Amino acid sequence: MHLKRTLIKKLIGEGKTYKEVQKIIGCSAKMISNALKWRAKPERRGRKRKTTIKMDRRITRMAKAQPMISSRMIKDSLELPVSTVTVRRRLCEANLFSRIPRKVPLLKKRHVQKRLQFAKEHINWPKEKWRNILWTDEITPPPLPPSPNSSSSLSSGLDAPLPPLDSVLQLLRSSSKPSSIPKESRRFLDGRST
C-alpha cells in the first residue's frame, strides 16, 4: 500500500491525470484521492505527561536539597497541578527513592558527658594503642560458659585447661570467625571440650 501511495503521488506530481494513473496502477479514483489526502500521523502512545521537563527538574532539585521532604510538601511548595503520586513517580525516575531514617536511641546528658570525658582522657593515645582496642561493633562476643545449673553434657568442657587470657584477647581482636580460631581456644570460648 505504501509503495502504491508513493507511486500515485509521483505520477500525479509529473502531471498525469486520474484516468492515466488508474490505467497504469489499476486502481479506483477514490484510492488516488485518498492517497493524495493521506498524511502520516505522529506516533503517540498514552496521554501527555502532566509535568514538563522544567517541573521535573524542579522536583528533583528540591528533593536533593532536602532529602527528608515529603512528596506532598514538594507538590505544595512548587504549586504543581499534579497528584503526590505523580511527584513520587518523577522522583523514582530520577533514582530518588523513598527512605526511612534509621532510629537510634537518644543520647542522654550523662551519655554525652561520658563520651566527652573518654575523648579527653584518650586524646593523646598513639594509633598503635587504638588498634589494640576490642570494639563491640567489630566482633560478636563469644558465648558465656554454661552455668553450674545447666546439664552435665555442657559443663564437661569446664574441666579442660584454659588458654592464657592474652592469647584469647588477641584471638578475639583478630577475628570473630570460628574457622580461624585454634581448637584449644575454641574449646575455651564454646565452654566445652572437643
10-residue mean pLDDT profile of the chain (194 residues): values are: 84 89 88 87 83 95 93 94 95 91 85 87 83 67 60 47 56 51 50 45
Distance CA 168, CA 177 (A): 13
For residue 101, what are the CA distances in angstroms to 24, 69, 98? 76, 12, 10
**Which residues lie closer than 8 Å to 31 by C-beta, 6 or more apart?**
4, 8
Largest Cα span, the chain: 115
Locate all alpha helices (DSSP H) within the chain, ordered by sequence. Answer: 2-13, 18-21, 29-37, 53-65, 71-78, 84-93, 109-121, 127-131, 152-155, 165-174, 183-190
Locate all alpha helices (DSSP H) within 94-147, ordered by sequence. Answer: 109-121, 127-131
Domain ranges of the chain: 2-37, 53-93, 124-194
Q: How many CB atoms lie within 10 A of CB 33?
A: 12
Distance CA 83, CA 76 (A): 10
pLDDT at 145: 63
Q: Confirm whether pTM is higher than 0.95.
A: no
Tell me the one-letter amino acid at 85.
Answer: V
**Which residues lie closer than 8 Å to 107 by C-beta, 6 or more apart?**
115
pLDDT at 98: 86
pLDDT at 130: 77
Q: Please measure the distance between the N-terminal and C-terminal CA atoms of the chain and give it in whole angstroms.
A: 86
Task: Decide if 168 contacts 188 (C-beta within 8 A).
Answer: yes
For residue 120, what are the CA distances in angstroms to 33, 109, 110, 127? 94, 17, 15, 16
Tell me the one-letter amino acid at 98.
Answer: S
